[in-house]
């Protein structure tokens, strides 16, 4: 199930589904150790008039979104049949590992009623579904779930009092659905401890007058020891839950307040999505530098795995967008991460865990009996492009000088060595879509951009011999791209795939985008304009809702033979960025503005998925996808700068 809200502080990330239920709880890294299993959730229920109403039972009208310009979520749920409503204001506290909900429960009936609200906790601590323990601690009047050095404390109060009922039991084993079933008669058994595969439930009970409301506070804190978790609970009482909510709200207001974008010509919805997007990007950014592809653990991809990894390429695109928005600290941490994961040979591998360890992969080290590097070369090359973009904005010369020999030069030297001596093109590797092995215009373009970035670094630092070498190699590669990958008759760039690296005529959005984005050709080059016309038509074929597919013949999540593929936010926004690059007037920018508004149309609670159903617009694959949000941020910034340049030229 897609996530409707993501909340985080760089160490803890909580994902809420469309019902406001907690479905992901990552700690101590953003994206590593999800302590809630794929079929688990923290259920919420209200018992009134002798009936239980779980919030996901289909009776509730639910609206969930970020508060404007903050990483504070609002969940508003109304059950007209039961005549009750819930409003929850939720945070992950920006300073400490505290997930806090301020819940207002309203009796919408014309009479006073006894109402009970239940919160269920289902954990899979440490990503393993065994040997957990949960117990009630009378010392701190809280439920404790723990395993090893992961200790979760569940507490709260209403009118100064802790929950008035609780129970702990088995969940998903021994024929037990979960302790939440125990709540369906309105009462709990007060079973105080259980171990194995367990869950827990807490309850508050109140008599609520007609039209009146009660306010309760509910929290989950997490630490490595019982003592640490208790200290976090004490901190909540010391500061007060309202203070923590307000402090978190103020912090994110101040953080987003640094953004310098006018949003001229764009709707309020587009403006709000921009802020939501940069908050989603930040929530996916670990304090140790990794930038997660997606925290949506409900999305299962190739091999039954999730998107819960750091892909160096995807992360670098996001770091680049952070730099464009002038959040240099976040992007700098990523480049420290990149330096740490770089191999001695000067390349990075497929994907990584947020703790810098190697992630899972399906790229083989032996193909057809021959050894090969199991890499996507573009993932290595883009790191220098992004780092140069960071430097020209942040001007952190000491940081760059420190990275030159151990990172910049090492990467550039590897890229130079990893080429075919006959064609001058890069040797074969896997493409950015992680599916094909071959030689690709996108990869070759990023390598060109990387060598030009290395040249710029070397020149800036006075390393003349290196700068001459990098510049010469970049120039030779550019000539090779135009000689071997441009089809003069068909007017597009093509790929070389298969055992013999045959010409692949399926058009690919990345083959076009890489050429202009990384400087092989300028955006206004006639060849680019010709290619754009062809790709726009063929990659949009049969897509009724609009947008651009990745490439012809794409089958990933695709089940409609009438369309060339599913529209992706990333590829659609790439084409928008090209429109912005070639625009020469405000009138030219109007189509780009319509593209930006198209994206807002398919955002759900401020979240962007990876791709969409070509007929219905239903989100497909991971949601949110960090890369989709980062391309939206980049596109709006590029649009805004171009718009301002036109407006300023009139004055």
pLDDT in tens, 71-88: 999 999 999 999 999 999
Domain 288-528 in the same topology as domain 5-256 = no
Count of CB atoms within 10 A of residue 113's CB? 18
Output the average pLDDT for the chain. Answer: 96
**CA angle centred on 18, ends 23 and 272, rounded to 5°:** 110
- DSSP designation for 529: H
Q: In what order do the strands lie in the sheet with 495-497?
A: 429-430, 437-439, 495-497, 502-504
pLDDT of residue 494: 95
**Residue 174 reports pLDDT greater than 80:** no
- The residue to which tokens 């997007």 are assigned: 277
Separation of alpha carbons 294 and 107, rounded Å: 38
Confidence of residue 177 (pLDDT cuts 50, 70, 90): confident
What mean pLDDT is predicted for residues 24-49?
95
303 pLDDT more than 70: no
pLDDT band at 302 (very low <50, low <70, confident <90, very high): low
Dihedral sign for Cα atoms in the order 464, 469, 472, 477: negative
Assigned fold of 5-256: Beta-galactosidase; Chain A, domain 5 (2.70.98)
The region of weakest confidence among 167-176, 401-410, 639-648 is 167-176
User: What is the SS3 assignment for 392?
Assistant: helix
Length of the chain: 651
Judged by average pLDDT, the poorest of 142-146, 368-372, 425-429, 456-460 is 368-372
Binned at pLDDT 50, 70 and 90, residue 130 comes out as confident
pLDDT digits (tens, 9 = 90+) for 598-614: 999 999 999 999 999 99
**Cβ(318)–Cβ(302) under 8 Å?**
no
Query: Which residues on neighbouring strands pair with residue 102, listed in sequence order?
Result: 89, 217
Q: What's residue 607's pLDDT? A: 97
Q: Where are the domains of the chain?
A: 5-256, 262-286+539-644, 288-528
As a CATH number, domain 288-528 is: 1.50.10.10
């Amino acid at each position: 199930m897609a996530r409707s809200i993501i909340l985080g502080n760089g160490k803890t990330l909580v994902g809420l589904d469309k019902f406001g239920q907690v479905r992901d709880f990552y700690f101590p890294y953003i994206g590593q150790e999800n302590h809630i299993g794929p079929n688990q959730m923290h259920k919420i229920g209200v018992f009134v008039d002798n009936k239980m109403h779980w919030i996901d039972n289909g009776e509730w009208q639910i609206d969930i979104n970020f508060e404007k310009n903050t990483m504070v979520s609002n969940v508003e749920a109304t059950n007209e049949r039961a005549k009750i409503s819930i409003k929850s204001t939720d945070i992950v506290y920006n300073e400490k590992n505290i997930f806090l909900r301020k819940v207002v429960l309203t009796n919408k009936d014309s009479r006073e009623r006894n109402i009970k609200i239940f919160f269920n906790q289902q954990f899979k601590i440490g990503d393993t579904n065994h040997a957990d323990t949960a117990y009630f601690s009378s010392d701190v009047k809280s439920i404790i779930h723990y395993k090893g050095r992961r200790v979760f404390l569940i507490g709260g109060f209403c009118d100064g009092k802790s929950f008035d009922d609780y129970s702990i039991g088995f969940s998903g084993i021994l024929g037990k659905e979960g302790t939440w079933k125990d709540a369906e008669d309105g009462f709990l058994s007060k079973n105080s401890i259980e171990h194995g595969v367990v869950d827990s439930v807490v309850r508050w009970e109140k008599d609520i007058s007609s039209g009146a409301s009660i306010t309760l506070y509910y929290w989950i804190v997490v630490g490595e020891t019982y003592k640490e978790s208790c200290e976090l609970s004490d901190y909540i009482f010391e500061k007060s839950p309202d203070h923590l909510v307000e402090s978190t709200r103020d912090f994110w207001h101040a953080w987003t307040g640094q953004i310098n974008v006018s949003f001229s010509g764009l709707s309020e919805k587009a403006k709000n999505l921009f802020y939501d997007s940069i908050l989603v990007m930040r929530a996916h950014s670990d304090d140790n530098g990794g930038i997660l592809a997606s925290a949506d653990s409900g999305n299962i991809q190739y091999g039954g795995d999730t998107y819960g990894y750091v892909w160096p390429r995807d992360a670098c695109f996001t770091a680049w967008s952070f730099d464009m928005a002038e959040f240099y600290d976040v992007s700098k941490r990523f480049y420290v991460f990149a330096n740490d994961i770089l191999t001695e040979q000067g390349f990075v591998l497929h994907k990584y865990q947020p703790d810098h360890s190697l992630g899972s992969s399906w790229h083989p080290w032996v193909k057809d009996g021959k050894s090969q590097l199991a890499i996507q070369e573009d993932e290595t090359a883009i790191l220098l492009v992004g780092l140069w973009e960071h430097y020209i904005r942040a001007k952190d010369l000491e940081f760059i000088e420190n990275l030159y020999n151990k990172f910049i030069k090492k990467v550039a030297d590897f890229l130079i060595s990893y080429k075919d001596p006959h064609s001058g093109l890069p040797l074969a590797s896997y493409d950015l879509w992680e599916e094909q092995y071959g030689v690709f215009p996108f990869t070759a373009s990023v390598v060109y951009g990387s060598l030009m970035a290395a040249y710029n670094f070397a020149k800036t630092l006075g390393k003349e011999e290196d700068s001459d070498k990098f510049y010469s190699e970049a120039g030779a590669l550019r000539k090779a791209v135009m000689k071997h990958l441009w089809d003069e008759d068909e007017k597009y760039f093509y790929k070389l795939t298969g055992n013999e690296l045959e010409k692949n005529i399926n058009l690919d959005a990345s083959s076009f985008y890489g050429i202009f984005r990384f400087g092989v050709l300028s955006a206004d080059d006639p060849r680019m304009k010709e290619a754009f016309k062809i790709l726009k038509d063929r990659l949009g074929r049969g897509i009724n809702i609009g947008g651009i597919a990745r490439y012809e013949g794409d089958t990933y999540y695709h089940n409609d033979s009438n369309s060339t593929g599913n529209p992706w936010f990333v590829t659609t926004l790439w084409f928008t960025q090209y429109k912005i690059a070639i625009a020469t007037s405000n009138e030219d920018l109007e189509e780009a503005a319509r593209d930006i508004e198209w994206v807002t149309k398919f955002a759900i609670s401020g979240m962007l998925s990876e791709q969409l159903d070509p007929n219905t617009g239903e989100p497909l694959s991971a949601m949110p996808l960090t890369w989709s949000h980062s391309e939206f941020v980049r596109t709006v910034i590029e649009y805004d700068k171009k718009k301002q340049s036109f407006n300023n030229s009139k004055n």
